[in-house]
Amino acid sequence: MEDEFAFISNITPKRSYQKTLVRGIGDDAAVYSGTQNMDEVVCVDTMVEGVHFRRDTLSPFQIGKKGLAINISDLAAMGAVPTYYLVSIAVPAAWTEGELTDLYKGMDELAKKYQMDLIGGDTVSTKDALVLTVTAIGIVEKGRARFRDQARAGDRLFVTGYVGSSAAGLDLLFEKSLDGVFTEQEQSLVKAHQEPKPHIEEGRLLATSSKRIALNDVSDGVASEAHELAESSGVRIVIEAGALPIHEAMEKYSRQRQIDLALFGGEDFVLIGTAQEEDVKQLQVIFHKKGLRFQVIGFVEEGEPSVWLKEEGQLKKIEKHGYNHFQKRG
């Protein structure tokens, strides 16, 4: 297998059997009808030791916390309120019971913040690497779930937080390891990678807005997520390099490195989306009153689904360059 995205496309069912299904494969989470007033939202993610995390960059507590956070982020991208989660874990002999307890404590700390209940899962052994799979469930007002296919020509592209910080933090961890000594600024980047904060409040503001909004979360980098919006909506997206929100702690990096980390680094878990130009100012006011970021970083045009970077008046096409599990590595 060379491309996970092509594989997923190939196995996506051509029909559905349940009349209550609202949205299946192809978004951050699946949506199906729940109660009279609410839809159910469900997503699942797997973290594999040595692929998605290393024990010299994350503590067991942080591995657990991040494992739940990335699922909550998917719920945020749908505009949902988190409610439940399930955990399946495959454990190698190298992991102690104390370390596993810490891993679950990490999930529990985040679950308490969002009042999520752990309702089940599975525990098995494995020979080599630890494998953590979390399923998260949430609810959203009927008809208010946000999808990737709502972008239209004339819309503005936005993000709800800094981008590139997590990748910069991972670079620092590779350089200094988990027990390294970091400056205050470096520590802010390291924490962005180790303990990402899902943008549930931002997602809820966007879900309860009556505006047409396309939404995604930044797990694989701004470029990859913008491609998903462009492909789902059948539009061309232009990212303005100068508008990308870069944390001041990244000032030591060259401008080109900052842009590369923002576009291709991933794991920022902020939200990226599009809104109509006439709605942007109102959304900015709403977010500002809540002390939240709403940063316009580009625009949407008619054209073949694609993503372009505008920098110093020049346009450059950006290839889909997110993390792909089955690409050959050097």
Q: Which CATH number covers residue 231?
A: 3.90.650.10
Same domain, 135 and 154: no
Per-residue pLDDT at 6: 60
Whether residue 325 lies inside any domain: the answer is no
Domain hosting residue 135, numbered range: 4-141
* 129 and 157 housed in the same domain: no
Query: In terms of domains, do 92 and 189 share one?
Result: no
Residue partners of 84: CB distance under 8 A and separation at least 6? 116, 117, 118, 119, 136, 137
Q: Same domain, yes or no, for 250 and 189? A: yes
Report yes or no on 328 lying in a domain: no
Does 152 lie in the same domain as 137? no
For residue 253, the SS3 value is: coil
pLDDT at 328: 42
* Feature table: binding site: 28, 45, 52, 74, 104, 121-122, 148, 217, 219-220, 267, 323
**Residues 77, 160 within the same domain:** no
pLDDT for residue 327? 45
Q: Which residues contact 27 (CB under 8 A, 6 or more apart)?
A: 77, 78, 147, 148, 232
Annotated binding site for Mg(2+): 28, 45, 74, 122, 217, 220
Sequence ranges of the binding site for substrate:
52, 267, 323
Residues within the annotated binding site for ATP?
104, 121-122, 148, 219
Same domain, residue pair 162 and 269:
yes
Report d(CA 191, CA 268) in Å as an integer: 11
Residue 132 and residue 218 in one domain? no
| Domain count for the chain | 2
Q: Mean pLDDT, 10 residues at a time, over the chain (330 residues)?
A: 58 75 89 94 96 93 98 98 98 97 98 98 95 98 96 98 97 93 96 97 94 95 97 98 97 95 96 96 96 98 97 92 43
- Strand arrangement, sheet containing 117-125: 21-23, 30-33, 38-48, 131-141, 81-91, 117-125
Cα 214 from Cα 156, distance rounded (Å): 10
125 and 230 co-located in one domain = no
